[in-house]
Amino acid sequence: MTREGWAPEGPGPHGTLVADALLITSELVTNALRHGGGLTGFTATVEDGCLVVTAADASTRVPVPRAPGGAAGTGGYGWPLMRRLAGTPDVTVSDAGKTVRVAMPLSARPDAATSLIP
């Protein structure tokens, strides 16, 4: 999924929505790689007017939101960012690990002007 893959002209998602979708995708994949023992599955589909992105990893540990910066001085931004852009992610845990699912509305949002990426 690349920003260049969606032409800004003509019908299709608004540029802000594309940027937000790419940011959410990046956060999910990065978290799976950094905290989940590796990415074991990934999907991106459109369902009921939402872009639904799922990332699966090998860890059964449920993500715990923490203050940005934290004790180590880095991290802690992904979960609040995803919540701001798409609401609370769904987490499903199984014996094989977990899947985090985020559903972002594709229609114009009232807060679109406050996107985190220009």
What does the pLDDT read at residue 15?
A: 77
For residue 4, is it within any domain?
no
What does the pLDDT read at residue 9?
A: 53
> CA end-to-end span of the chain, whole Å?
18
Give the whole-angstrom CA distance, residue 57 versus residue 38.
Answer: 6
Domain count along the chain: 1
Beta carbons of 19 and 113 less than 8 angstroms apart: no
Helices (DSSP H) in the chain: which residue ranges? 15-35, 78-86
**Tens place of pLDDT per residue across the chain (118 aa):** 444 554 445 555 577 888 898 999 999 999 999 999 999 999 999 999 899 999 999 999 998 877 666 666 667 788 888 888 888 899 999 999 999 999 998 875 545 444 444 4
Give the whole-angstrom CA distance, residue 24 versus residue 27.
Answer: 5
For residue 99, is it within any domain?
yes
What does the pLDDT read at residue 26?
A: 94
- For 17, half-sphere exposure in the C-beta direction (CA atoms, 13 angstrom radius) is 18
Q: How far is CA 75 from the centre of its chain?
A: 15
Residue 101 token pair? 């699912």
Print the domain residue range for 18: 10-107
Looking up residue 37, the CATH number of its domain turns out to be 3.30.565.10
For residue 94, is it within any domain?
yes
What does the pLDDT read at residue 39?
A: 97
